[in-house]
Amino acid sequence: MKFSIKLMCSIILCLIPIIAKTNHAHALSAESAILMEQESGRILFEKDAYSKKRIASITKIMTAIIAVESGKLDELVKISENAEGVEGSSLYLKAGTKVKLEDLVYGMMLRSGNDAAVAIAEHVGGSLDGFCKLMNEKAKELGMESTYFSNPHGLDDHEKHYSTAYDMALLTRYAYNNPIYKKIAGTKEYKFSSKKYGDQYWRNKNRLVTGMYQYSTGGKTGYTIRAKRTLVSTANKDGMDLIAVTLNDPHDWRDHISLFNNAFNNYEMVDIVTSQLSREKKQPFTENLYVKESIRFPLTKAEKEQLRVDLNINVNEEHIDPHEPVGNFLIKIGKKEVKSVPVFMKYVPFDMNHYID
């Protein structure tokens, strides 16, 4: 016997005072920009976020996450002549010396060492071409559809090396789920010690991390003559994690702080599905429903007043599989659908008399 149920539900929440949202797109100096909430992936602000552009050293976010995921951080890397000779920002590595891969990743992320990026690529990928293949495979896996990597550092030595603000936000959202990467990207200062190089203290070039912004949790700076200033940064306040990306932005520190503060002042993280599910489980037939993920979503005061959740269930009681969804929660703000969450049902012996008065 099949049952089809559609329950139209409103979420009524206690509203807290929130500062009115302001539109600061006109004041943002970036050519491209995006602000994304980490947990939900919701885009809170965008400006030409899907145009392909040069990205400079924020390329190293991809280099770093591949290195971290390689499982080789404890291995020693022999520095090649190719790595020693790379131009731009440098750790001043010497060919023939050996440096721990973990130290190279810290040096690349904090000091933007291009020599470290090449050494990492050659060790993890076997060659620069081999590593770039890994980078592009990962980009495809993450849905970075407008991205192509031709090197591990972002220098302007290849025409075919580009991404978008949106794609770099996707990459950062993925990378920050890795606790090792997150720790590295948010480190203010790192002590590097070796017999060859002695003791060195690498201070993060990201001024937001080193004290300019109290809610900063990490990121990566970038600059080349052709790409201009690029910046990826992350911040956390009151349980909300944000990702900001700007490309060709002469005032990136100011703009990132503005983007973060605007979101923190106007949005609140709301646990939508868990709260709604607890209400549904009090109704006949729905007490055995469950979801595999709790959905927290950033909402403004106005959006909370327009929030609606539709529960759609289509059940064949003879073939309930607890591993297959029986429906979904459809989250809407006004008439706009923003998220669909699969709903599952625990199998219990079905007694029709329980549902008939």
Q: How far apart are CA 183 and CA 208, in angstroms?
A: 15
Q: How confident is the model at residue 14 (pLDDT cuts 50, 70, 90)?
A: very low
- Euclidean distance between CA atoms 78 and 48, whole angstroms: 41
pLDDT at 310: 85
For residue 35, pLDDT beyond 90:
yes
Residue 42 is which amino acid? R
Contacts of 334 (CB under 8 A, 6+ apart): 306, 308
Would you name the residues annotated as active-site residues? 57, 60, 112
Q: What is the pLDDT of residues 316-357, one digit of tens each?
A: 666 677 778 888 888 888 888 888 888 888 765 555 444 444
Helix (H) / strand (E) element for 166: namely helix 165-175
pLDDT of residue 348: 59
Short-list 109, 124, 189, CA closest to 154? 109
* Listed ranges 48-52, 192-196, 280-284; the one with the highest mean pLDDT: 48-52
pLDDT at 90 over 90: yes
Residue 273 has pLDDT above 50, yes or no: yes
Residue type present at position 296: R
pLDDT digit string, tens, across residues 58-87: 999 999 999 999 999 999 999 999 999 899
Tokens 């220098």 locate to 155
Closest CA to 84 of 104, 69, 66: 104
Return the higher-pLDDT residue of 157 and 107.
Answer: 107
Query: pTM of the prediction?
Result: 0.86
User: pLDDT, tens digit, for every residue of 221-241?
Assistant: 999 999 999 999 999 999 999
